[in-house]
């Protein structure tokens, strides 16, 4: 376990508070279908009140400070470690999020949500091989977790040396559980396209259209196929 925070509490407060205002109403992009411990778990409203913004900002700074200090002072407090990690993930400081999530995992390695959020943070840091480990762990706990299966597959798509066959295998496992998972179908199409299987990608697009022709994922997959690439 590492020692004190690399960033001083005072130096990160403004960024944390601003990040919460910007990110509180947003989950990870639907394309990655995440589960996450959210700031809502604190029980504190993070929506700015235009009539009392200054006092709320000050209150949030105190809450952030208290949360981070608690995580440091109570290294055996699983919830405190996970909440501190979630605060950092909210503003994109994934290295710090990963540090706290790993502290939490060390205390409760069989917690499904803890493994998922750690895998998500590693994924967002483009540490796809490491993310694979924790998505796999999450699937040991819950083998029917469609989101984890989909994200696991995507780690094989996005890494420097892609394994499209493995990705497709994971997506098909997910679709056996939930045939209407549009996110999974989208990434299945992307995998076929990157693998050079355009006809399979077009068939997947048809399946996606049947679920919702106006879906953003339909538009994105269609654009990729039309452009002859899989740029997301």
Complete DSSP assignment for 74-132: -TT-HHHHHHHHHHHHHTT-HHHHHHHHHHHHHH-TT-HHHHHHHHHHHHHTT-HHHHH
Distance CA 143, CA 99 (A): 26
Residues 6+ apart with CB under 8 A from 155: 123, 128, 129, 131, 132, 135
pLDDT of residue 2: 35
pLDDT (tens digit, 9 = 90+) per residue, 96-134? Answer: 999 999 999 999 999 999 999 999 999 999 999 999 999
How far, CA to CA in Å, does 212 sit from each of 80, 141, 219? 40, 32, 10
Residue 1 buriedness (CB in 10 A; 0-12 / 13-18 / 19+): exposed
pLDDT (tens digit, 9 = 90+) per residue, 192-201? Answer: 999 999 999 9
Distance CA 123, CA 213 (A): 29
| Residues of each domain in the chain carrying CATH 1.25.40.10 | 1-127, 143-232
- Has residue 44 got a pLDDT over 80? no
pTM: 0.73
pLDDT of residue 49: 43
Decide yes or no: CATH 1.25.40.10 for domain 1-127.
yes
Range with the poorest average pLDDT among 39-48, 50-59, 140-149, 204-213: 39-48
pLDDT band at 214 (very low <50, low <70, confident <90, very high): confident
pLDDT of residue 63: 78
pLDDT of residue 35: 32
pLDDT (tens digit, 9 = 90+) per residue, 157-195? Answer: 999 999 999 999 999 999 999 999 999 999 999 999 999
| Token pair listed for 104 | 């939490």
Residues 6+ apart with CB under 8 A from 79: none
Decide yes or no: CATH 1.10.3720.10 for domain 143-232.
no
């Amino acid at each position: 376990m590492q020692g004190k925070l690399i960033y001083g509490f005072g130096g990160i407060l403004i960024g944390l508070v601003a990040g919460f205002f910007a990110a509180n109403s947003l989950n990870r992009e639907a394309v990655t279908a995440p589960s996450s411990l959210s700031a809502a778990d604190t029980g504190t409203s993070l929506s700015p009140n235009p009539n009392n913004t200054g006092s709320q900002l000050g209150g949030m700074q105190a809450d952030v400070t208290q949360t981070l200090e608690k995580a440091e002072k109570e290294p055996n407090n699983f919830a405190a470690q996970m909440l501190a990690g979630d605060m950092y993930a909210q503003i994109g400081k994934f290295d710090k999020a990963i540090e706290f999530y790993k502290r939490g995992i060390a205390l409760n390695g069989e917690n499904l949500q803890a493994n998922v959020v750690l895998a998500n943070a590693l994924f967002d840091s483009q540490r796809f091989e490491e993310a694979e480990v924790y998505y796999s762990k999450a699937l040991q706990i819950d083998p029917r977790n469609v989101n984890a299966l989909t994200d696991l597959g995507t780690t094989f798509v996005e890494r420097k040396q892609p394994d499209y066959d493995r990705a497709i295998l994971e997506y098909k496992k997910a679709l056996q559980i939930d045939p209407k998972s549009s996110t999974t179908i989208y990434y299945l199409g992307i995998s076929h396209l990157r693998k050079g299987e355009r006809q399979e990608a077009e068939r997947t697009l048809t399946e996606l259209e049947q679920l919702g022709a106006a879906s953003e994922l339909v538009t994105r997959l269609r654009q990729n196929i039309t452009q002859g690439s899989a740029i997301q």
